[in-house]
A = this chain, B = another copy of it.
Amino acid sequence: MGEPAGIGGEITLKAWRRKKFGAPSFFVIDDCHRLEAIAQALALDVPIHKIETADEAVGVFAEALPVIDHPVAEIPRPGEPLPANAKSVLQSIKRAVELVRRGDASAVVTNPIHKLSLYDAGFDHPGHTEYLAVLSNSESTPVMMLACDQLKTVLVSIHVGLRQAIDSLTTEAIVKNGTIAAKALVRDFGIREPRLAVAGLNPHAGENGAMGSEEMKIITPAVAKLREVGIEATGPYSPDAMFSPRLRGAYDAAVCMYHDQALIPIKTLDFDGAVNVTLGLSLIRTSPDHGTAFDIAGSGQASEASLVAAIRLAAAMAKQRAAP
């Protein structure tokens, strides 16, 4: 469901309309009345079909959007999240995880949530991803990957200020995240020997210490350790050059030292089609690469492209993971 005052409902309905163009079958955990109201308000011709169990979804999907009814306390006005709905939002995530853990669904795709509304309701995780890690009893810390057709990037640090990202950069964090990424590329993307390109932190990757020493002290040792455990890691590379058309074809994922180093190239290339993938969870989870977009919620302008890409990628990963 995601935040019910955001664009989640609208893009979900629009994603179903793309079924003719090969979107895999999916079902939704959401408030049926809410979705019907959105379909009506935006004149989206999407029949809603309430299902009781996940099994029913496949039979329904061709004719209607299958929905496991999950009521909200009150249907909010677009762009105006209601504290009363926080519990329902969190429960919808929980139900999704349970369905995957029981084998009733093959992956979780999450619509954007609005963290501030959840904090007010006592939510005490840094974000969606960390909550999912707890719910799914995952052993390792989750690792964020951004993926578009031309490029995959993996983040060593995520939502912290740039100065803190530098302060907290360690060889161990790079090795840990690189290892989780390499395993996921084998297991969920079917790449037998993933090639990781590790980014530098500084301009020109520090130019032998002339512009920063983190490459020599922290990153180069991490590349060496990854190679020691048999991972095909190389670098550190000059961050400005490694995402160029010629170089990005030479690796399967770039290991990035901070949020914007990973997100700028992805969003420069493909703002609408980029997908956020959480690696290192026991289950498969993707999400669209945007927020709740309160500013355009209810207007009918929201693009379903990233959600469709997230559903597609989740399905492909599940198929790969299930392959013998």
Chain A residues in the interface with B (C-beta under 8 A): 158-164, 166, 201-204, 206, 211-214, 239-241, 243-246, 258-261, 263-269, 271
Cα(A122)–Cα(B21), bound, Å: 65
* Nearest B residue to A266, CB-CB: B240
Q: Which residues of B contact A159 (CB under 8 A)?
A: 203-204, 211
* Nearest B residue to A291, CB-CB: B204
Cα(A162)–Cα(B213), bound, Å: 10
Q: Which residues of B contact A162 (CB under 8 A)?
A: 162, 166, 201-203, 212
Q: Which residues of B contact A161 (CB under 8 A)?
A: 202-203, 206, 211-214
Smallest CB separation, A254 vs chain B (Å)? 11
* Nearest B residue to A243, CB-CB: B268
Q: Which residues of B contact A266 (CB under 8 A)?
A: 240
- 11 inter-chain pairs at a CB distance below 8 angstroms, sorted by A residue, are A161-B203, A161-B213, A162-B166, A162-B202, A162-B212, A203-B258, A240-B266, A246-B271, A264-B265, A265-B268, A268-B268
* Nearest B residue to A290, CB-CB: B241
Cα(A6)–Cα(B203), bound, Å: 21
Q: Which residues of B contact A246 (CB under 8 A)?
A: 271
Q: Which residues of B contact A240 (CB under 8 A)?
A: 259-260, 263-264, 266-267
Cα(A163)–Cα(B202), bound, Å: 8
For the complex of A and B, 4 pairs with smallest distance between CB atoms = A161-B212, A240-B263, A244-B271, A203-B259
Q: Is the CB of A203 within 8 A of B271?
A: no
Q: Which residues of B contact A239 (CB under 8 A)?
A: 260, 263-264
Cα(A264)–Cα(B261), bound, Å: 8
Cα(A240)–Cα(B243), bound, Å: 14
Partner among B166, B201, B260, B271 whose Cβ is within 8 Å of the Cβ of A245: B271
Smallest CB separation, A213 vs chain B (Å)? 8
Interface contacts beyond A160-B211, A164-B211, A244-B271: sample of 12 additional A-B pairs, CB < 8 Å, sorted by A = A158-B203, A159-B204, A161-B211, A162-B162, A162-B201, A162-B202, A164-B212, A203-B263, A239-B264, A244-B268, A265-B268, A268-B268
Q: Which residues of B contact A214 (CB under 8 A)?
A: 161
